[in-house]
């Protein structure tokens, strides 16, 4: 429990954190990886190279300081992070490592400005936050054991491998021990652990793209190339594309994630799923669940892709369109190829815009789920806000560290 004085000190540091947040978090990660290399396996080097991990942590620290008197206001952010931590197997013993390096980084970056009073207040504040995460993550682990029958990592066999597009491969996974799979929540992801070229283990999250209740898990993996000069190509995605074949074994952690289809009876309003690129994966699972579980509700599925060569799941969506009269699908290509234009096979050209939403929805209210690259998400968020959509009706997921859509 923080004292009133400690709360006041934390609030006084907000301007300093806003000014120096990314410098502090860059220093923190460099220090922690140097002093505690055993935690490296929990982090994606591509996110470190791109700076997204540092920006996300800086934003989280500032948000915590701003809401230090009412951490409950950050419940959604805490749940997102706790789910991510649980997916990677982070345990209570990892928190002192983070705390020690964070406090040392505050001292080393701020210098004399980091008075003993400030360090004492932040040590207490970190302790409170660590307890919140530890308690929530322990509950998630217990729920995984109850809901899915295992925690940690379990061996799964690649039953089937197929191309979903030119740059996305789908892997169908079944438990090596033959145990039936329990139903996951539509929108959840699993964690895959591999050791490329016999090196250090690598863990990555991949959304489940299959219908909940199937007798397999399906992940659909895009081959990730370096996004900035000097950054590595996606270690795990390229390993899965180049090395993993039918009959191979992968280690999987149970489903996690808070970006799930809401369980409520709202059949009077359309459900709109807006997918960009490989961001279709959690939304496709949601689509199956909505069509089977919310029968009669109008569902609109908007898929945005560069061109048909990299557009995944065309046949699956076409089959669903034929089977369900309450489903409308719309494919918009931003850069259709000459072959696309000759053969058709798409509905419109360009980027997502207000005119398309009016065409499909008119002025009706709806519930929206979004997933895709950050620029697409920011653009979609702005379109929906301009349309007057309440934030409570906009659900979204980033691939990678969370960002601020309103920025």
Active-site residues, by number, are: 95, 137
CA–CA gap between residue 405 and residue 272 (Å, rounded):
18
Count other Cβ atoms within 10 Å, centred on residue 367: 20
Q: Are 203 and 193 in contact (CB under 8 A)?
A: yes
Q: Are 81 and 60 in contact (CB under 8 A)?
A: yes
Q: Which two tokens stand for residue 206?
A: 């991949």
Long-range contacts of 120-125 (CB under 8 A, 24+ apart): 120/6, 121/2, 121/5, 121/6, 121/7, 121/9, 121/10, 121/13, 122/10, 122/13, 123/99, 124/2, 124/3, 124/6, 125/2, 125/6, 125/10, 125/64, 125/65, 125/68
Q: At what angle do helices 75-88 and 116-148 cross, to 10 degrees?
A: 60
Q: Which two tokens stand for residue 202?
A: 């690598």
- What is Dmax (Cα atoms) for the chain? 70
Q: Which two tokens stand for residue 100?
A: 């020690």
């Amino acid at each position: 429990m923080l004292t009133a004085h400690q709360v006041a000190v934390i609030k006084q540091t907000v301007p300093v954190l806003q000014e120096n947040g990314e410098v502090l978090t860059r220093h923190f990660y460099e220090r922690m990886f140097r002093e505690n290399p055993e935690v490296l396996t929990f982090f994606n080097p591509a996110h470190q190279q791109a700076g997204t991990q540092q920006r996300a942590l800086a934003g989280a620290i500032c948000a915590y300081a701003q809401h230090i008197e009412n951490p409950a206001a950050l419940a959604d952010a805490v749940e997102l992070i706790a789910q991510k931590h649980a997916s990677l197997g982070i345990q209570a013993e990892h928190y002192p490592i983070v705390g020690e390096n964070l406090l040392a980084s505050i001292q080393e970056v701020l210098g004399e400005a980091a008075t003993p009073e400030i360090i004492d207040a932040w040590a207490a504040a970190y302790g409170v936050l660590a307890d919140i995460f530890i308690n929530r993550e322990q509950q998630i682990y217990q729920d995984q054991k109850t809901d899915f029958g295992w925690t940690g990592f379990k061996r799964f066999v690649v039953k089937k491998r197929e191309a979903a597009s030119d740059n996305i491969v789908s892997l169908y996974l079944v438990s090596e021990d033959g145990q039936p799979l329990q139903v996951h929540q539509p929108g959840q992801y699993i964690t895959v652990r591999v050791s490329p070229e016999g090196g250090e283990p690598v863990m990555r999250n991949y959304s489940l793209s299959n219908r909940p209740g199937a007798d397999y898990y399906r992940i659909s993996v895009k081959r990730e190339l370096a996004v900035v000069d000097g950054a590595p190509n996606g270690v795990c995605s390229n390993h899965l594309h180049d090395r993993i074949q039918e009959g191979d074994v992968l280690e999987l952690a149970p489903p996690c994630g808070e970006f799930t289809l809401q369980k409520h009876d709202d059949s009077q309003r359309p459900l709109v799923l807006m997918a960009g690129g490989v961001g279709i994966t959690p939304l496709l699972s949601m689509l199956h669940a909505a069509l089977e579980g919310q029968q009669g509700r109008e569902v609109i599925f908007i898929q945005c892709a560069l061109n048909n060569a990299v557009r995944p799941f065309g046949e699956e969506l076409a089959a669903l369109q034929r089977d369900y009269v309450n489903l409308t699908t719309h494919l918009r290509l931003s850069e259709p190829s000459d072959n696309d234009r000759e053969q058709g096979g798409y509905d419109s050209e360009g980027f997502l815009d207000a005119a398309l939403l009016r065409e499909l929805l008119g002025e009706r209210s709806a519930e929206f789920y979004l997933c895709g690259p950050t620029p697409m998400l920011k653009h979609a968020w702005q379109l929906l806000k301009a349309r007057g959509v309440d934030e409570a009706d906009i659900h979204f997921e980033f691939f990678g560290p969370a960002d601020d859509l309103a920025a």
